[in-house]
Amino acid sequence: MDDQADDAQLTAALVRCAIGDRAALRVIFDAEAARMTGVAFRILRRRDLAEEAVQDAFLRIWRLARSFDPARGSARTWIYAVLRNRALTLLQDEARYPTSEGDGAWPEVSAEAAFALLPEKSALRRCLEQLDLKRRAAVILAYAHGMSHGELAGKLGVPLGTAKSWTRRGLLSLQECMG
Amino acid sequence: MSERDNILAAEFVSGLLDATQRSEAERRIAQDQDFARLVEQWRTRLSDLDQTAPALPPDAALWERIERQIGTQAQTAAATHGLMSRLWNSIEGLRAATAVSLASALVFAIIAGAALTYATREAFRKPVYVAVLVSDDTRQPGAVVNAFADGRVEMIPLAEINVPPGRALEIWTLWDRNVGPRSVGLIDRAQTVRLNLDKLPPTGPDQLFEITLEPAGGSPTGRPTGPVLFKGTTSRPL
């Protein structure tokens, strides 16, 4: 499978980063930076912040490459975990100093759009498919779009407690389905 | 596994925790292996969703900014030892896990082994010191000397050098004026050559290398006698 070949390549690149080979960081950048910018953009909804998150992420990947442990998870998962951490931190910083634009309204955001793009063979897709629409939406809007429980409640038109329970039950059903 | 920790890990990975809960979860990840494993499992479960994000090619300047910020930050060789032992442990761990995992352990061992071989080779591919030898007359570069971490030193010519019949090119290095120049190589025409510095102190910064024209067979006195064709001193590459 292509994913495995890609991941072996990313694993090799992280090992090379750990010994200070900058060309290896560039390999990761060339392969993943566009997707990473997309992931950060979905969460932050601003291009400049998304690129800031990607920049922070690459500095961390470079510094922390030695702490990557292939026994615990794939190289890609590790790289995206670093990125998502940076994006979520920036999101929280931004929330502390809110700007006028974009508060509350999420007209353009649709959970089903992300769902439709999941590969047919994805176990996550198969299991999300089994969730009812509202729980599926809650899980996807939180993970992919960085929505908080409060924002989910607003977007889905339900009380905060309901939004919390939908994400929890949705996540636990996924775990049961995927193992 | 406590159900509470499982939900905490799930909500952490989904980005549903507030700032305080998030830093608390990060502390747990660093200190509690079981919790870290739960987090990793949730990351793996949900990771396909990252691949549904649009590909947005970043601004060309982004890489330059990253490169600038990395600057001359060097990773230490010691750091790799931790990674190496973890790679090894993970192979052992996989083997012990189940009989079924043996095949994947082998595949992993091959990948990890190849990655490490490659990484090690790369480490020695980049010289620790470089000297560009230039002509005093024309200021044109004639050769490069690369000194590697494992003690190897090589000279690579950059230009044809006219060597009259009965003459040879001798390469010298000077690291201490009190000792004087030492011959480290003799060639009859411009070609890449491994220099013999085995008995000399490790190559350092600002160490002089030069190429002189000598009688075939090398200088009869053990000191440079002919004209200096190219010379230069070592610097550490970034």
A149-171 mean pLDDT: 95
CATH code of B129-235, in short, is 2.60.40
Residue B57 with chain A: CB contacts under 8 Å: 33-34, 37
**Interchain contact B221–A (C-beta under 8 A):** no
Whether residue A22 is predicted with pLDDT greater than 50 in this model: the reply is yes
Question: pLDDT category, B178, cuts 50, 70, 90?
Answer: confident
**Do the Cβ atoms of A71 and B53 come within 8 Å?**
no
Q: Which residue has the higher pLDDT, A97 or B33?
A: B33
Whether residue B163 is predicted with pLDDT greater than 90 in this model: the reply is no
Question: pLDDT category, B175, cuts 50, 70, 90?
Answer: confident
B42-52 mean pLDDT: 96
Domain residue ranges in chain B:
1-54, 77-125, 129-235
Q: What is the value of ipTM here, to two decimals?
A: 0.93
CATH 1.10.10.10 holds for A111-178? yes
Four-way CATH pick for A2-96: 1.10.3720.10, 1.10.1370.20, 1.10.1740.10, 1.20.1250.20: 1.10.1740.10
The structure tokens listed for B171 are: 């390469």
Least confident segment among A81-90, B63-72, B93-102: B93-102
Mutation for B interface: A6, A16, A86, A94, most B CBs within 10 A: A16
Question: pLDDT category, A85, cuts 50, 70, 90?
Answer: very high
Cα separation of A64 and B130, whole Å?
29
| A69 to chain B: closest CA residue | B86
B202-217 mean pLDDT: 91
| B34 to chain A: closest CA residue | A72
pTM greater than 0.95: no
Domain residue ranges in chain A:
2-96, 111-178
Whether residue B97 is predicted with pLDDT greater than 90 in this model: the reply is no
**Interchain contact B58–A (C-beta under 8 A):** yes
The structure tokens listed for B150 are: 């494992």
Which candidate, B73, B30, B36, places its Cα nearest to that of A62?
B73
**Do the Cβ atoms of B86 and A71 come within 8 Å?**
yes
Cα separation of B238 and B227, whole Å?
32
| pLDDT given at position B102 | 62
Whether residue B164 is predicted with pLDDT greater than 80 in this model: the reply is yes
DSSP labels, chain A? -HHHHHHHHHHHHHHHHHTT-HHHHHHHHHHHHHHHHHHHHHHH--HHHHHHHHHHHHHHHHHHGGG--TTTS-HHHHHHHHHHHHHHHHHHHHHHS--STTSS--TT--HHHHHHHS-TT-HHHHHHHHS-HHHHHHHHHHHHH---HHHHHHHHTS-HHHHHHHHHHHHHHHHHHH-
B95-109 mean pLDDT: 60
3-state secondary structure of B228: strand
Q: Taking CA B194 as the corner, what is the angle to CA B189 and CA B196, rounded to the nearest 5 degrees?
A: 110
